[in-house]
Structure 1
Amino acid sequence: MLNPKSAGFKNLHLAADKINDQEAARLIKENPRIMRRPLFTDGKTLVIGFDPEGYAKIIGS
């Protein structure tokens, strides 16, 4: 759920592949802009980031 391409993430000088889930949660809490967006859900399925095909599956188009 981290966005390593974001300016905020780059400013932290971190290696995305070295971050575990607990560390990612802490980083997102402290720096919410490093989370990949948008988050799109229907309550059962979660689509993270820009994914038109994922959106279509959720809304039934």
Structure 2
Amino acid sequence: MKIEVDKDACIGSGQCLLTAPEVFDQRDDDAIVELLDAEPPESEYPAVRDAARGCPAGAITVHEN
């Protein structure tokens, strides 16, 4: 799995951080998504998929291997 985030599309809702905190974070100044791990371990796959589905801005893209 490989993850991409579109910081321009991100609205800073924080759903990704709440859903997959090992993979996503937010910038302190504007709450825009920060990707901590673009190729997370398999144990994080379900949370990452949920985060992508739950992103209200559609700013997370998941590429399955």
TM-score (norm 2): 0.33
Structure ID, larger Rg: 1
- Give the helix-richer structure, 1 or 2: 1
- Give the strand-richer structure, 1 or 2: 2
TM-score (norm 1): 0.34
